[in-house]
Amino acid sequence: MRATRFPERAGGPEDRMAGFVAHLRLNGLRLGPAETADALEALMLVDATDRDAARAALKALFVPDAETWRRFDDLYDAYWFNAGRTRRGTAHPDRRGVAAPSAAALWQPHLDGGAGAAGRETDRQPDAGEGEAEGTEGRLIATRTRNLARRDLREIADADALREAARAAEALARAIRDRRSRRRKQALRGREIDLRRTLRASLARGGEPLDLRRRSRPDRPVRIIALCDVSGSMTVYARVFLAFVKGLVDADTEAEAYLFHTRAMRVTPALRDRDTLRAATRLGLMAEGFGGGTDIGASLAAFADGPGGRRLTRRSVVVILSDGYCTGRPEALAAALARLRRRAGRIVWLNPLKGWADYAPVAAGIRAALPHLDAHLPANTIAALAALEPEFARL
Amino acid sequence: MTLQELRTALEGRGYVASGDLSMALHLALGLGRPLLLEGPAGVGKTEIARALAEATGARLIRLQCYEGLDASHAIYEWNYQRQLLAIRAEGATEDSLFSEKYLMRRPLLEAISQPEPPVLLIDEIDRADEEFEAYLLEILSEFQITIPELGTIAATSRPVVILTANGTRDLSDALRRRCLYSYVDYPDRDTEIAILRARAPDLAPRLARQIVGVVQALRREDLEKKPGVAEMLDWAAALAGLGVNDLSDDPATVQATLVCLLKTATDRDAAPPELMARLIGKVA
């Protein structure tokens, strides 16, 4: 293996290390200038001319998790040994590669409308075939509507359906949110005596513990993150589901909502908008390409990588509303769900098809997803949604 | 202590560390940073702390994490019963009540108030909740603990901190960033034989090779809980205790001792005598 020859203008080891940190940053590691300094300090502790020692030292220092652990060696070779897997870092760290928020990509399809639409058309081809092939129950919906044009979501925010679904959603949100913490906090009428505070209070009484202070296990709100599929196969349900998601978001200031078809986008602010007309307009703008193809795996992966995914904790419930028909690879869906599973407390999949009498989860997408779900529940009507409450309470 | 000295010292305590792991330990000692270890269960993540403590002659202080772990179990607690007694019996005043005498030191406070730097093992940090993780982060950066009644207690020595995680949940980026990281995987064949040698020097080399070969082959099977190094050592001890000299001699005993390796009913069913015979045949 030949070592990289750095250009003349590159300075000493500091510059090269800064270049390496920039190279790692381009490849998705979150490192700052402090890490560069740490790296130089670490190399002082080992024999920096020993190739393996230097590699092992930088690996221990820079790698944050198991996934990166496996690919670090390649990244290392790419920079220091000319393996050229990625753009070779110059000795000047630059921020060009820092991933810009995907907003630009999001708007791309309707900026150059024709190309974007064509791209999605090819995306969607297998979807039609799949719907045809995979059992009788999904075909009707999976292949009927293909509408790539801008769709006005105002007609979807129909007042009656919205109110009813929202009510069901609020009941559900309450059922999920009421969970007890294992920690204890002081409380006026708790079940246990808080010895620490009781004793403090007793000092005022000459050491007699007369005033008993209590503590209890406080309620911990569970955050709900709803991901609603708005692709072609889901069009007939979109009306109900959007209202449902709005209900979830309204019930709780912590809740978040995303819509996805081939991408995932955050719609929480639009759903919270009190001005219905403005909300509808904002949603309409966001749901550009609404009713097109589906790539659940890629959407979930994008969500997990984004700021939304990073905010997931064990007290989050991810609610996915989708029929599981997906043009992406089922393995990608399984991998994305497995990643979400590690971060979130629970994943619930609400499937409109599951309410059908002879439904069996045979579509490749949903079959791949099932092992990673905490619950796979029917949701084809508002009544079915309302009936979910006991199921949710059990989660 | 140089890297090579560290490796030798660990090996002297019966711990065979991979190159990556010993480098991570070396840096943790040198840079004074906490070390986060991840990997499957039973590969010796917890054991490394014990070996390191013995090798450096330091005290090992262990904090086992669980859901709901809070300050009174991790940091300190006042001994209220004794305080109440003291008030009754001696008419103690506040000054004397909230003194070191009535302070119960939990592992974190214990670790920073040692005269000599100890090894602090924070086991299964992913089982504790996020609040505790945040609190831990503060202690690991400041190395001081504030007790309202006593004031701030600064560390008399900085402990070597080792955290382990099994992937019950993802840890926060902030914690990962502060820590050095090493992924501890199942050892390769030669390393595992070396581990078995270090732990059971009396075992016949042939049997040791067979044991390691079978365990490594079992890990490639589709099992719910793959046998770790600890299980392998248990199995070796069981076989040695039963006087088995060659795995192919006595299939019934081997099958009976599988309780050391396979810990669920499905896994027991997944390793019928035929499979074991095949695996043993391969390594014999």
> Is A108 a member of any domain?
no
Number of A/B CB contacts below 8 angstroms equals: 94
pLDDT value of position A183: 61
User: Does pLDDT of A139 surpass 50?
Assistant: no
Closest to A64 (Cβ–Cβ): which among B3, B94, B176?
A: B176
> Is A109 a member of any domain?
no
Q: How far is CA A344 from the centre of its chain?
A: 9
User: Does pLDDT of A113 surpass 70?
Assistant: no
Q: List chain A residues with CB under 8 Å of B70.
A: 183-184
Task: Let me know: does B153 contact B114? Beta carbons within 8 Å.
Answer: no
Residues pairing with B162 in the sheet = B35, B121
User: Does pLDDT of A368 surpass 80?
Assistant: yes
- What is the Cα–Cα distance from A212 to A36, expressed in whole angstroms? 54
Domain match, A167 and A55 both: no
Among A98-107, A117-126, A227-236, top mean pLDDT goes to A227-236
Task: Let me know: does A295 contact A322? Beta carbons within 8 Å.
Answer: no
Tens-binned pLDDT, residue by residue, of chain B (284 aa): 788 889 889 988 888 888 889 999 999 999 888 999 998 888 889 999 999 999 889 999 999 998 778 878 888 888 888 888 887 887 777 778 788 888 899 999 999 889 999 999 999 998 887 778 888 888 888 888 888 888 888 888 889 999 999 876 678 888 888 899 999 989 999 989 999 988 888 888 889 999 999 999 998 887 878 899 989 999 999 998 888 888 888 888 888 898 888 888 888 888 888 888 888 888 76
> Is A213 a member of any domain?
yes
Residue of chain A minimizing CA distance to B91: A207
pLDDT value of position A393: 66
Is residue A110 very low, low, confident or very high in pLDDT (cuts 50, 70, 90)? very low
Domain match, A167 and A212 both: no
pLDDT value of position A395: 59
A193 touches B: beta carbon within 8 Å: no
pLDDT value of position A360: 77
User: Does pLDDT of A20 surpass 50?
Assistant: yes
Name which residue leads in pLDDT, A387 or B212.
B212
Q: List chain B residues with CB under 8 Å of A64.
A: 173, 176-177, 181
User: Does pLDDT of A105 surpass 80?
Assistant: no
Distances (CA, A) of B267 to B222, B258, B260, B262: 9, 10, 12, 6
Domain match, A276 and A292 both: yes
Contact A59 B20 (CB under 8 A): yes
Least confident of A13-22, A40-49, A112-121, B8-17: A112-121
pLDDT value of position A102: 38
Q: Which residues contact A375 (CB under 8 A, 6 or more apart)?
A: A346, A348, A349, A391, A395
pLDDT value of position A394: 63
Name which residue leads in pLDDT, A155 or A191.
A191
Domain match, A213 and A335 both: no
Residue of chain B minimizing CA distance to A345: B169
Domain match, A390 and A349 both: yes
Instruction: Work out the end-to-end distance of chain B between its first and last CA atoms, rounded to an integer number of angstroms.
Output: 41
pLDDT value of position A89: 43
Count of domains for chain A: 3
* Predicted complex: ipTM over 0.95: no
Q: Pairing between strand B160-165 and B35-38?
A: parallel
B52 touches A: beta carbon within 8 Å: no
Exposed/middle/buried for residue A80 (C-beta within 10 Å: 0-12, 13-18, 19+): buried
Q: Coil, strand, or helix at residue A320? A: strand
In percent, the amount of chain A with pLDDT more than 70 equals 64
pLDDT tens figures, A291-308: 566 788 888 888 887 777
CATH of the domain at A153: 3.40.50.410
- What is the Cα–Cα distance from A281 to A172, expressed in whole angstroms? 27
pLDDT value of position A219: 67
Q: Which stretch of DSSP H or E encloses residue B154?
A: strand B151-154
pLDDT value of position A294: 76
Distance (Å) from the alpha carbon of B257 to chain A's nearest alpha carbon: 32
- The full DSSP string for A63-125 is --SHHHHHHHHHHHHHHHS---SSPPPPSS--STTSPPPTHHHHHHHHHTHHHHHHHHHHHHH
Distance (Å) from the alpha carbon of B205 to chain A's nearest alpha carbon: 30
pLDDT value of position B234: 92
Distances (CA, A) of A116 to A85, A108, A113, A349, B212: 29, 7, 5, 29, 56
B169 touches A: beta carbon within 8 Å: yes
> Is A169 a member of any domain?
yes
Domain match, A291 and A309 both: yes
Q: To which residue do tokens 């979150």 refer?
A: A30
**Helical spans, DSSP H, in chain A:** 13-26, 33-45, 51-62, 66-80, 103-111, 113-133, 136-144, 159-177, 195-202, 235-251, 268-272, 276-286, 296-305, 307-310, 330-343, 364-369, 382-386, 389-394
Among A171-185, A226-240, B98-112, top mean pLDDT goes to B98-112
Rounded to the nearest integer, the mean pLDDT of chain A is 70
Range of the domain at A309: 136-177+220-394
pLDDT tens figures, A140-154: 232 333 333 333 333
Closest to B129 (Cβ–Cβ): which among A59, A202, A314?
A: A314
Domain match, A197 and A228 both: no
pLDDT value of position A1: 59
Domain match, A212 and A230 both: no
In percent, the amount of chain A with pLDDT more than 90 equals 1
Among A188-202, A341-355, B38-52, top mean pLDDT goes to B38-52
> Is A105 a member of any domain?
no
pLDDT value of position B26: 92
pLDDT tens figures, B213-224: 999 999 888 787
Domain match, A200 and A298 both: no
Closest to B27 (Cβ–Cβ): which among A30, A45, A314?
A: A45
User: Does pLDDT of A18 surpass 70?
Assistant: yes
pLDDT tens figures, B157-177: 889 999 999 876 678 888 888
Backbone φ, ψ for residue A260 (5° rounding): -145, 150
Angle between helices A235-251 and A159-177 (to 10 degrees): 50
Q: List chain B residues with CB under 8 Å of A209.
A: 84
User: Does pLDDT of A119 surpass 50?
Assistant: no
The pair of structure tokens assigned to B277 is 């015979």
User: Does pLDDT of A313 surpass 90?
Assistant: no
Per-residue pLDDT, averaged over A158-176, amounts to: 69
Q: To which residue do tokens 């020993």 refer?
A: A50
User: Does pLDDT of A285 surpass 70?
Assistant: no
Domain match, A252 and A390 both: yes
User: Does pLDDT of A161 surpass 70?
Assistant: no
Distance (Å) from the alpha carbon of A305 to chain B's nearest alpha carbon: 13
pLDDT value of position A327: 78
Domain match, A235 and A258 both: yes
pLDDT value of position B236: 92
- In 3D space, the residue among B283, B273, B217 whose CA is nearest the CA of residue B246 turns out to be B283
Q: Which fold has domain B3-183?
A: Rossmann fold (3.40.50)
Domain match, A143 and A50 both: no
User: Does pLDDT of A130 surpass 70?
Assistant: no
> Is A253 a member of any domain?
yes
Among A30-39, A246-255, B23-32, B141-150, top mean pLDDT goes to B23-32
